[in-house]
Amino acid sequence: MDSLVVSPYGVQAIQVLTILLGAPLVSGVIANVEARFQGRRGPRILQPYYDIAKFFSKETLVTYESSWVFIAGPIVAFACYLTVPMLIPVLTTFPLPLGFTGDILGGGFILALAGFSVALSGAESGAPYAQLGASRAMTFGALIEPTILFVIFAVALITHTDLPYALSATIRSSTSQMVRPSHVLAAFAFFLVVLVDTGRIPVETHSGTLEFGMIDEARTLEHSGPTLALLKWGGAMKQLILYTILINVFIAPWGLASSGRLGSVGLAAIALLGKAIGLGVIFAVVDNSFSKLRLFKITEFIASAFLLAVLSVLVFYVGGG
Amino acid sequence: MSASPSTYDGVAAVLSLLVLLTEFAMLRAPLLRSQVRLYAFQSLVVTVLAVYVAYSKHIDELYVLAALSLVLKVALVPALILRLLRDANTDLAGSSVVGVASAILIALVVAAFGFFSVGSLQVSSSSLPTSSLAIACAIVLVAFVLIILRSDVVSQAIGFFSLENGVSVASLVVASGLPLIVDIAFLFDLLVAVVVFGVIMRVHHARNATLSTSDFDRLKG
């Protein structure tokens, strides 16, 4: 098996497949762990797969007033989530051929396009709560944007490029890169960005049913059947993509395959899912240790993320750190 | 990739940054009690930084300083203030003049000013990286912002004490080989400040039944 070498394009396809097939598993484990922290038994680990399969077998209902945008939104978003794994280091230490078609900003744009199309589709449903969710998601998305930009600035300053592969390689090169203050700050700022973008406490109760506190969850209230399945699956994929960036670019870029051999690529895929589940447990702990912020207090949370990102760039300029 | 600072410099700078971040957290803290706890945590980080410098650079006098600051700043001073607070029966800090998000942005601008003004001085030191000195300057300036924006005696006292923490970080950078007696004089200064602020808090609360400083603009009590 070790002699079997996969071509770089093949590895790229495996990257997409890992994210596609692994995402519901990661979500399922997190939901289960979270329930256990709360003293419940929790859903089965494979529950998200069953949910998605069930939604696919049902029909999609569309109101008379909604146009094709209502259906197209989830499909475009799903396509976006399939594209991003080609641009980031998911399984390999060496850059893959399509990895250079977009940098961190490019990946960010595609993720933003996905968020935009889901919000548009929610707005098109005509239901008040879905529209409220769409408008809130866009508002907080815009507020978190400066933080993401400063994190990218910090990465660009450290590596002189804005390729995620380059930062990943820089961090692996020595411990001093790992503990340099601008990296620590940027990584922590990105951690907070992931909290906001995956709709976790303290920003949003992702499993709640109370519409008043909803942001991301409310956008999908009106969808049903296969489009809802795409939205759920896409949400799980977005979460795993953000975890992958946080793990393989910022926190722990180890356990990646250094060659295209099938064995090491498969091992890297298992390692990635393991690391993502480990990170997910941390998120579950955060979820259970803090209370949700009031909607108008979220700006304070975002301000502190922004503070970390800006300090990261400042420290780089002053101390070379 | 750009050359990174050494691991020692990196850890030292991260520790000093942690002190700065606690200072920012104080700007956010709505409860007086949590502010005092943040101060205790900040002092603990300064102590750890002192021990780290002492261990790595083999400066034995710093151990004494670290022990003293552990006893005084982490345990004694917070305990005293918490006791004063228990007598005062006040939980919430006086409302700040501006909102929390704006306060953080203002403090960020001020901190950036501190960073770049010190960075342009080109001070270098054998014991800690230059960035620590810049961070120390930012800590002092953000402490000033805290004192200016908050309108209650406790926040202002905590702001003043944490300002001393900033000075401690700066003294670790530029003069870690300083004679011990000078450092102890700093700590003694802090003790005097604690006594003075304690008296102010007690007297002010006894006279006006509040900890807010907004009553101070009247000329007679």
CB contact under 8 A, B24 and A307: yes
Question: Which of B1, B116, B119 is facing A159, going by the closest CB pair?
Answer: B1
For chain B, list residues with pLDDT below 70: 1-4, 93-96, 176-179, 215, 218-221
Position B94 scores a pLDDT of 64
Q: What are phi and psi of B58, to 5 degrees?
A: 55, 50
* Residues paired with A257 in a beta bridge: A92
Please check whether residue A249 touches B, CB under 8 A: no
> Which residues in chain A touch residue B7, judged by CB atoms under 8 angstroms apart?
175-176, 179
Position B207 scores a pLDDT of 80
> Which residues in chain A touch residue B38, judged by CB atoms under 8 angstroms apart?
none
Question: Which of B2, B104, B130 is facing A319, going by the closest CB pair?
Answer: B130
* Residues paired with B92 in a beta bridge: B31
Q: Where are the domains of chain B?
A: 11-88+98-217
% chain A with pLDDT above 70: 98
Nearest CA in chain B to A163: B1
Position A169 scores a pLDDT of 85
Question: Which of A158, A307, A318 is facing B2, going by the closest CB pair?
Answer: A158
Q: Which amino acid is at B173?
A: V
A104-109, long-range: CB within 8 Å, 24+ apart, which pairs? Answer: A104/A152, A104/A155, A104/A162, A104/A163, A104/A164, A105/A152, A105/A162, A107/A164, A107/A245, A108/A148, A108/A152
pLDDT by residue (tens digit) across A1-18? Answer: 456 888 888 899 999 999
Position A276 scores a pLDDT of 95
pLDDT by residue (tens digit) across A150-177? Answer: 999 988 888 888 888 888 888 888 777 8
Name the average pLDDT for chain A: 89
Largest Cα–Cα separation, chain B = 64
Task: Kindly provide the ipTM of the predicted complex, given to two decimals.
Answer: 0.81
Confidence tier at A80 by pLDDT (50, 70, 90): very high
User: Exposed, middle or buried by CB within 10 Å (0-12, 13-18, 19+), for A313?
Assistant: buried
CA quadruple A53, A57, A63, A68: dihedral sign: positive
CA quadruple A55, A56, A58, A63: dihedral sign: positive
Shortest Cα–Cα distance, A307 to chain B (Å): 7
Please check whether residue A146 touches B, CB under 8 A: no
Are residues A14 and A269 in contact, defined by beta-carbon separation less than 8 angstroms?
yes
Q: Please tell me the pTM assigned to this model.
A: 0.89
Distance CA B1, CA B20 (A): 27
pLDDT by residue (tens digit) across A182-211? Answer: 898 999 999 999 999 988 888 887 777 777
CB contact under 8 A, A159 and B112: no
**CA–CA distances in Å: residue A278 to residues A35, A216, A263, A272, A285:** 16, 24, 22, 10, 11
Higher confidence at residue A274 or residue A161?
A274
Question: Which of B1, B20, B119 is facing A160, going by the closest CB pair?
Answer: B1
Q: Which amino acid is at A97?
A: P
CB contact under 8 A, A315 and B112: no
- The DSSP output letter for A161 is S
Position A19 scores a pLDDT of 95
Shortest Cα–Cα distance, B46 to chain A (Å): 16
> Which residues in chain A touch residue B100, judged by CB atoms under 8 angstroms apart?
300, 303
